Amino acid sequence: MLHDALLYDELENKVVQCNLCSHRCRIKDGARGICRVRENRNGKLFTLVYGNLIAEHVDPIEKKPLYHFLPGTKSYSIATPGCNFRCEWCQNWQISQMPRIMEMPQSKRIKPEDIVKAAQMSSCESIAYTYTEPTIFFEYSLDTAKLAKETGLKNVYVTNGFMTTEMLEMIEPYLDGANVDIKAFRDETYHRLMGGRLEPVLESCRKIKSLGIWLEITTLIVPGVNDDPEELKALAQFIHDDLGPETPWHLSRFYPQYKMMDRGPTEESILKETKAMGEMLGLHYIYLGNVLAGNTTICKECGQILIRRDGYATRLSGLDGEGRCLNCGTALDGIF
């Protein structure tokens, strides 16, 4: 089912330019963009995935991962098929790459109000647009986020950060938090293994921060792709200098996936060394993902343990009701 697209320009000869993500595809009449879910029909652009839910789960907010955003709460998590990237290690490739592999199933049409009702019924405090890339289901996420906001629910994006600033400005009144994957700190890696570019992702991170949306960063450390200590140091420095030392950084362990089955998992020692390096540079909150060890949040002022985590079980043992350290009263960075 077609739904009018937002954020595009009509050019000559029924060509349109989509301005939703930094590919800025120019699409001829009858053709689709790189994501394969936006189609030009007679000089107008339409989205093919509005309401076309492919995944719908109640998750701990920590699973996004967002560790400083309503910790210990549940987030109603949704996705439609498609992505504007094609990462060779994608863990959700069956749904993210679906429009490139096959015709999309059209059976499940869920209205935004039904998502909001389901989130309320399951005692979630937020809706997460996740699993695939929320940018490519922007119209659906925007309508859902507007309704969610009216009912007091918060909204979070889990994203590759390749959207345009125009898109961020449009979703900003309704978006409370975001986790952006910075998947490498070399443009060449973005080109070769993901079909993207680095700088627009960095620009989105800066923009999200400047709009006052809570931001956390994730980096999946893939052996032989982005595990050069100098590259990781430059990335940590960017987070510190451009986004601020209070920005949490999640370092995730790679396991062989999809097209990248030719190497083993990331050594835990690399994750630990990267965490130590980031802390030396002054980042306050660095967490390890896809490892057994729990992650604690420490007060940046006095060192008191504020939040203990064991898997997705979260205990806010050192915080008062307003997110302040029980020992020294310093506010923990984040949304509480």
Nearer residue to ligand SF4 within complex by CB, 18 or 319: 18
CA distance 254 to 228: 15
Alpha helices per DSSP H over the chain:
93-96, 98-101, 112-121, 138-150, 165-171, 187-194, 198-210, 229-238, 268-281
Tokens of 319: 């915080």
Nearer to ligand SF4, 180 or 283 (CB): 180
Closest approach of ligand SF4 to the CB of residue 67, in Å: 29
Helix (H, G, I), strand (E, B) or coil at 171: helix
Instruction: Give least dist CB 2 to ligand SF4, A.
Output: 14
Closer residue to ligand SF4 in complex, CB, 163/239: 163
**Residues interacting with ligand SF4, by CB under 6 A?**
18, 20-21, 23-25, 33-35, 38, 84, 136
Return the number of the residue (23 or 64) whose C-beta is nearest ligand SF4.
23
Nearer CB in complex with ligand SF4: 19/75: 19
Position with the least CB separation from ligand SF4? 33
Give the number of C-alpha atoms closer than 13 A to the C-alpha of residue 35, restricted to the C-beta side: 32
**Residue 332 DSSP symbol:** P
Q: What minimum distance in Å lies between the beta carbon of 178 and ligand SF4? A: 17
Q: How far is the CB of 200 from ligand SF4 (least distance, A)?
A: 11
320 Cβ contact list (under 8 Å, min separation 6): 326
Task: Return the number of the residue (85 or 285) whose C-beta is nearest ligand SF4.
Answer: 85
Q: Which residue from 246, 232, 275, 252 is spatially nearest to 63, judged by alpha carbons?
A: 252
Is the backbone of residue 236 left (phi > 0), alpha (psi -120 to 50) or beta?
alpha
| Least CB distance to ligand SF4 at residue 81 (A) | 13
In the complex, minimum distance from the CB of residue 306 to ligand SF4, in angstroms, rounded to a whole number: 39
